[in-house]
């Protein structure tokens, strides 16, 4: 995204709601993905590799 288009986006009407929808979506996705990864890692540490069908 160029600096001009970013400036245009920030200056547009209702920018708070529009950018807010992207921020909420990306933050929730990031949080959910992190939680899934960390939980998987924590559980995987307690199990031998031979019992993991994906290894």
Partner 1 sequence: MQPERQQMTSTNSATTEPLSTRAGTGTRATRVLGIATIVMMVWLVAFGLGFSPADRDQEEAVRIMYVHVPTVWLAYLAFVITALCSALYFFTKKHSLGFDRVAGASAEIGVTFMALTLVSGMLWGRITWGVFWQWDARLTTTALLFVSYIGYLSVRRLGGSHHQRAKRSAIIGMLAVIEIPLVHWSVRLWRGLHQEATMASTDLDPKIDGLMLFSLFVGIIAFTLLYVWLLLHRTRSLALEDLLDDQGLDRALDARRHEAATAGATP
Which residues are near partner 1 by CB under 8 A?
A: 1-2, 5-6, 9, 12-15, 17-22, 24-26, 28-29, 32-33, 36-37, 39-41, 43-55
- As measured in angstroms, the least distance from the Cβ of 13 to partner 1 is 6
Which two structure tokens, joined as six digits, stand for 19?
Answer: 């950018």
Q: Rounded to the nearest whole angstrom, what is the least distance from the CB of residue 17 to partner 1 in the complex?
A: 5
Phi-psi region of 14 (alpha: psi -120 to 50; beta: other; left: phi over 0): left
Is the Cβ–Cβ distance between 8 and 18 less than 8 Å?
A: no
The minimum distance between CB 15 and partner 1, in angstroms, equals 8
């Amino acid at each position: 995204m160029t600096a001009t288009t970013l400036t245009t986006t920030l200056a547009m009407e209702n920018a708070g709601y529009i950018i807010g929808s992207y921020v909420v979506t990306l933050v929730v996705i990031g949080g959910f993905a992190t939680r899934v990864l960390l939980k998987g890692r924590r559980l995987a540490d307690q199990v031998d590799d031979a019992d993991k069908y994906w290894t």
